[in-house]
Amino acid sequence: MSHPKAASQFLKDQANSHWHDETLWMVREKRDIISKTIPEWEELRNLASQIKDNVLSNLDSYLEEFEANALKNGIQVHWAKDAHEHNQIVLGILQEKNCKAIVKSKSILTEECHLNPYLEKNGVEVVDTDLGERIVQFLQQPPSHIVMPAIHLKKRDISALFHEKLDTEKGNEDPSYLTNAARLHLREKFLGSKVAITGVNFGIAETGEFVVCTNEGNADMGVHLADVHIACMGIEKIIPRRKDLGAFLRLLARSATGQPITNYNSHFRSPAKGKEIHIVLVDNGRTLQLGREKFKNSLKCIRCGACMNTCPIYRRSGGYSYGSTVPGPIGSILSPGLDMEKYSTLPFASTLCGSCSDVCPVKINIHEQLYEWRQEITKNHGEASKSIAMKLASVIFKSPLAYQFSGAMMRKAVRNLPKGLIYNPLNAWGKNRDLPEAPKESFQEWYKKNRK
Amino acid sequence: MRKREPSIGLFIPCYVDQFFPQVAVATLELLEKLGCKVTYPLGQTCCGQPLANAGYERDTAGSTRHFLELFKGFDYVVAPSGSCVLHVKEHFPELKGLEEDTKEVQERIYELTEFIIDVLKVDVLKGSFPKKVGYHSSCHGLRGLRLASSSEMNVSPFNKAKQLLEQIEGLEWVELSRTDECCGFGGTFSVTEEALSVQMGKDRLEDHQKHQVEIVTGGDMSCLMHLQGIADRSKSDLKFMHIAEILNQSLA
Three-state secondary structure readout of A231-267: EEEEHHHEECCHHHHHHHHHHHHHHHCCCCCCCEEEE
Q: What is the mean pLDDT of residues A424-443?
A: 85
Q: Hey, is the C-beta of B250 within 8 angstroms of any chain A C-beta?
A: no
Q: Is A416 part of any domain?
A: yes
Ranges of beta strands (E only) in chain B are 8-10, 38-39, 76-79, 109-111, 132-136, 172-174, 215-218, 239-242
Cross-strand partners of A125 = A101
pLDDT in tens, A176-215: 999 999 999 999 999 999 999 999 999 999 999 999 999 9
Q: How far apart are CA A418 and CA A172, in angstroms?
A: 57
Supply the range of the domain harboring residue A430.
395-450
Identify the pLDDT of residue A414: 72
Determine the Cα–Cα distance for residues A269 and B148; give it in Å rounded to an integer.
Answer: 46
Q: Are residues A262 and A223 in the same domain?
A: yes
Is the CB of residue A36 less than 8 Å away from at least one CB of chain B? yes
Considering the domain architecture, whether residues A62 and A51 belong to the same structural domain is answered as yes
Q: How far apart are CA B162 and CA A10, in angstroms?
A: 36
Q: Hey, are the CB atoms on B53 and A371 less than 8 Å from each other?
A: yes
Is A397 in contact with B60 (Cβ distance < 8 A)?
Answer: yes
Amino acid code (one letter) for B27: T
User: In 3-state terms, what secondary structure has residue A168?
Assistant: coil
pTM for this one?
0.95
Do A321 and A185 lie in one domain? The reply is no
Chain A residue numbers with beta carbons less than 8 Å from the beta carbon of B207 are none
Residue A387 lies in a domain: no
Cβ A382 vs Cβ A344: under 8 Å: no
| Residue A23 maps to a domain | yes
Please answer yes or no on whether B186 and A446 come within 8 Å at the CB atom: no
CA distance B88 to B49: 8
**pLDDT number for residue A382:** 61
Torsion, Cα of B219, B222, B226, B229 (10° steps): 90
Give the per-residue pLDDT at A395: 74
| CB interface of B with A, residues 174-193, below 8 Å | 178, 181-182, 184-193
Using CB atoms, which residue from B18, B65, B196 is nearest to A11?
A: B196
More confident position, B135 or A394: B135
What CATH number is given for B7-119 in this structure?
Answer: 3.40.50
Q: Do A439 and B63 touch (CB under 8 A)?
A: no
A20 domain-assigned: yes
Q: Which of A7, A316, A436 sits opposite B19 (nearest CB)?
A: A436
Comparing CA positions, the residue from A413, A391, A407, A412 lying closest to residue B43 is A407
| Co-location of A26 and A49 in the same domain | no
Q: What is the pLDDT of residue B247?
A: 98
Strand partners of residue A202: A211
Which of A265, A284, A303 terminates a domain? The answer is: A284
Distance CA B250, CA B252 (A): 5
pLDDT band per the 50, 70, 90 thresholds, residue A421: low
Give me the pLDDT at residue A384, please: 57
Q: What is the DSSP letter of A195?
A: E
Order of strands across the sheet that contains A125-128: A76-80, A276-282, A228-234, A195-198, A101-104, A125-128
User: Residue B64 — φ and ψ, nearest 5°?
Assistant: -65, -45
Domain ranges of chain B: 7-119, 132-250
How many other β-carbons are positioned within 10 Å of the β-carbon of residue B56? Answer: 21
Contact residues, chain A, for B189 at CB < 8 Å: 348, 350-351
pLDDT of A435 reads: 87
Q: Which residues of chain B have pLDDT under 50?
A: 1
Domain boundary among A284, A306, A331: A284
A17 and A92, same domain (yes or no): no
Q: Which residues of A touch B182 (CB under 8 A)?
A: 312, 351, 353, 355
What one-character-per-residue DSSP string does B144-212 give? IS-SB--TTS-S---BHHHHHHTTSBT-EEEPPSSTT---S-TTTHHHHTHHHHHHHHHHHHHHHHHTT
pLDDT at residue A387, as a whole number: 67
Interface touch B182/A316, C-beta < 8 Å: no
Do residues A280 and A198 lie in contact, with contact meaning Cβ atoms separated by under 8 Å?
no
CA distance A107 to A133: 10
Helix (H) / strand (E) element for A276: namely strand A276-282
A325: DSSP letter: S
Q: What pLDDT does residue A426 have?
A: 57
**Rounded Cα gap, residues B16 and A447, in angstroms:** 13
Domain shared by A7 and A106, yes or no: no
The share of chain A scoring above pLDDT 70, in percent, equals 96
Can you give the CATH number for the domain in which A52 is found? 3.40.50.10420
Q: Is residue A339 part of a domain?
A: yes
For residue B101, what are the contacts with CB-CB under 8 A and spacing of at least 6?
A: B68, B72
Q: Are A125 and A103 in contact (CB under 8 A)?
A: no
CA proximity to A238, closest of A59, A89, A376, A53: A59
Among the three residues A250, A284, A318, which one is the final residue of a domain in this structure? Answer: A284
Q: Are residues A211 and A236 in the same domain?
A: yes
| A225 interface with B at CB cutoff 8 Å | no
Residue A312 and residue A24 in contact, taking contact as beta carbons nearer than 8 Å: no
Instruction: Please name the amino acid found at residue B157.
Output: P
Do A312 and A350 form a contact (C-beta atoms < 8 A)? no
Residues of chain A with Cβ-Cβ distance to B187 below 8 Å are: 351
Residue A397 carries which side chain, given as an amino acid letter?
F
Q: Can you give the length of chain B in residues?
A: 252
A323 within a domain of the structure (yes/no): yes
Q: Please list every residue in chain A whose beta carbon sits closer than 8 Å to the beta carbon of residue B14.
A: 397, 403, 407
Nearest to B62 among A35, A390, A397 (CB): A397
Cβ partners under 8 Å of residue A389, min gap 6: none
CA angle A298, A304, A310 (to 5 degrees): 90
Contact (CB, 8 A) for A394 and B59: yes
CB atoms within 10 A of CB B169: 11
Interface of B with A in 39-98 (CB under 8 A): 40, 42-46, 48, 50-60, 62-63, 65-66, 91
Contacts of A2 in chain B (CB under 8 A): none
Residue A401: pLDDT band by 50, 70, 90 thresholds? Answer: confident
CB < 8 Å from B in window 374-413 of A: 374-379, 386, 390, 393-400, 403, 407, 410-411
Q: How far is B129 from chain A (nearest CA, A)?
A: 24
Residue A128, domain member (yes or no): yes
- Neighbour-count burial for A376-392, b at 16+ CB within 10 Å, e otherwise: bbbeeeeeeebeeebee
Residue of A nearest to B16 (CA): A443
Structural domain count of chain A: 3
Decide if A321 contacts A10 (C-beta within 8 A).
Answer: yes
Q: Which residue in B14, B174, B170 sits closest to B159, CA to CA?
A: B174
Among the listed residues B142, B40, B39, the one whose alpha carbon sits nearest the alpha carbon of residue B83: B142
| CATH of span B132-250 | 3.40.50
Which of A221-230, A268-277, A397-406, B164-173 shows the lowest mean pLDDT across its residues?
A397-406
A311 and A423, same domain (yes or no):
no
Q: Is the pLDDT of residue A424 over 70?
A: no
Task: Tell me if A11 and B195 make a contact (CB, 8 A cut-off).
Answer: yes
Report ipTM for this prediction.
Answer: 0.96
- Residue A290 is assigned to a structural domain of this protein: no
Sort strands B8-10 and B38-39 into parallel, antiparallel or unpaired: parallel
Nearest to A266 by CA among A161, A196, A371: A196
* Nearest alpha-carbon partner for A151 in A129, A137, A132: A132
Cβ contacts (< 8 Å) between B151 and chain A: which residues? 32
List the single residue in A36, A312, A429 with the smallest CB-CB distance to B191. Answer: A429
Please indicate whether, in this complex, the C-beta atoms of B178 and A25 are within 8 angstroms of each other.
yes
Interface of B with A in 190-219 (CB under 8 A): 190-201, 203
Pick A393 or A127 by higher pLDDT. Answer: A127
Of B153, B181, B196, the CB nearest to A317: B196
A314 in the same domain as A376: yes
If you average pLDDT over residues A18-40, what whole number do you get?
98
- Structure confidence at residue A444 as a pLDDT band (50, 70, 90): very high
